[in-house]
Amino acid sequence: MNLESIKAVQQLLSQPQKIVIVPHKNPDGDAVGSTLALYHYLINRGQEAVVVAPNDYPKFLKWMPGNENILNFEKQNSQAKEKIAEATVVFTLDFNHLGRIGQMQSVLEDLTVPFVMIDHHQAPSDYAEIMYSDVSMTSTCEMVYNFIEFLGDVDKITSEMADCLYTGIMTDTGSFKFRSTTGRTHRVVADLIDKGAENTQIHHRVYDTNTPGRLHLLGCALKNMVIIDKYRTAYITLSQEELDTYEYQKGDTEGFVNYGLTLEGIIFAVIFIENKEEGIIKISFRSIGEFSVNEFARAYFEGGGHDNAAGGKSDRSLKETALYFESLLENYQDQLQA
Ligand SMILES: [Mn+2]
């Protein structure tokens, strides 16, 4: 974050503001953790602040301190709209394009108040007056830690904030193993533990939350896995019928895509999940090393994300999508073949 932006934030926060903090739609651990940590920080500074999430998120994220104060734009629509209408500043966290917030997009686009973006995804759009955008960062949570440090307030990080920030760094780094993880990341995490983050509890609360249905769905997903050794690729399909059979709940397929990468020699893993209600196939891409799934998702599946983790979608049927995907691999044989 450059000096000019830091000064601009300091200027904003030197006055009492009504602040709305927004994560992306289908918020993950990093989105919920970063918005709640910032929420606590701003409240502790004497600001009025509220987190408005575009929609609901999984139960394994609902233990975080301050969770009960998050407004769900879908379920508490009039209350959320009221808060947004009163806002004097909007913080958007863990996304960089207003298309990522679903029905909240048009409401936020109508605002004329300053926006502050804190985000680590590629290709930010230019809706925010103040931008802290850095694709080298593991997570928005690590950036919120930095943001608080830029403002000279690291000593004001409470155990509640530490719990939230730890969660987002942990989930966005696959428990500190993804390429973006640096020595600095570990120093931040170490400091968060010193400040009271309950690391063992957090791992347990986020990861040890399987239902029998989810484990059976995982079994089905693994059985469906197609391995294409030639291109060091593995992909999974899940049909709506299979999801229904195992009483799919929102968030149940989280992390399934990563199983492909646990196979020796596989560097590209994908999951295709049928969504009958939206009439699309939702896709997650993961890679190890140089192969950019961000570029792949952008080129063929109306998506994007990071170099090693991206999302996308398809309007074709599940079967056709998988066949189309397979046909694309030979375009990348120089990168995918061993
Ligand atoms: Mn993130």
Instruction: Tell me the CATH number at 294.
Output: 3.10.310.30
Rounded to whole angstroms, how far apart are CA atoms 104 and 98? 8
Give me the number of domains the chain comprises. Answer: 2
**What tokens were used for 131?**
């931008």
pLDDT value, residue 223:
98
173 Cα: distance to centroid of ligand 1 (angstroms) = 9
Mean pLDDT check: name the lowest of 103-112, 217-226, 248-257, 287-296. 248-257
- Are 168 and 29 a contacting pair, CB within 8 Å? yes
Percent of the chain residues past pLDDT 70, beyond the cut? 100
Q: Which of 207, 223, 250 is the last residue of a domain?
A: 207
Pairing of strands 268-275, 280-287: antiparallel
Average of per-residue pLDDT across 237-250: 95
252 and 292 part of one domain: yes
Residue position matching structure tokens 């009439």:
279
Q: Are both 180 and 81 inside the same structural domain? A: yes
Ligand 1 centroid distance, CA of 165 (Å): 11
Residues 224 and 134 in one domain: no
Do 155 and 41 share a structural domain? yes
- Could you tell me the pTM of the whole model? 0.84
The residue among 150, 183, 207 that closes a domain is 207
Distance 175 CA to ligand 1 centre (A): 13
Q: How many residues does the chain have?
A: 338
Q: How far apart (Å, rounded) are the C-alpha atoms in residues 287 and 267?
A: 5
pLDDT tens digits for 147-182?
Answer: 999 999 999 999 999 999 999 999 999 999 988 999
* CA separation for the pair 54, 279 (Å, rounded): 21
User: CA separation (Å) from 29 to 58, 99, 291?
Assistant: 9, 20, 25
What is d(CA 76, CA 280) in angstroms, rounded to the nearest whole number? 27
> In which residue are the tokens 């998120």 written?
57
**Per-residue pLDDT tens for 186-206?**
999 999 999 999 999 999 999
Residue 320 CA to ligand 1 centre (angstroms): 31
Which residue range forms the structural domain that includes residue 291? 215-336
16, 73: one domain: yes
State the distance from the centre of ligand 1 to the C-alpha of 57, rounded, in angstroms: 14
Q: Is the pLDDT of residue 334 over 90?
A: yes
Residues 261 and 277 both lie in one domain: yes
Q: Which amino acid is at 330?
A: E
Q: Which helix (H) or strand (E) holds 109?
A: helix 104-109
Distance 250 CA to ligand 1 centre (A): 19
Amino acid in the structure at residue 156: K
What is the 133 CA–ligand 1 centroid distance (Å)?
Answer: 12
Same domain for 137 and 106, yes or no, is yes
Residue 299, pLDDT > 90, answer: yes
Cα(310) to centroid of ligand 1, in Å? 11
In the predicted structure, residue 249 carries a pLDDT above the cut 90: no
25-75: pLDDT as tens digits = 999 999 999 999 999 999 999 999 999 999 999 889 999 999 999 999 999
338 has pLDDT over 90:
no
209 to 176, 255, 289: CA distances (angstroms): 20, 13, 30
Distance of CA 164 from the midpoint of ligand 1 (Å): 13
Q: For position 162, which CATH number holds?
A: 3.90.1640.10
Q: What is the pLDDT of residue 138?
A: 97
Q: What is the pLDDT of residue 94?
A: 98
144 and 269 in a common domain: no
- Please indicate, yes or no, whether residues 195 and 302 belong to a single structural domain of this protein: no
Is residue 78 located within the same domain as residue 117?
yes
Of the residues 173, 207, 241, which one is the last residue of a structural domain? 207
| 223 in the same domain as 195 | no
Q: What is the whole-number distance in angstroms between the Cα of residue 68 and the centre of ligand 1?
A: 21
Q: Give me the residues paired with residue 237 across strands.
A: 272
Q: Are residues 199 and 295 in the same domain?
A: no
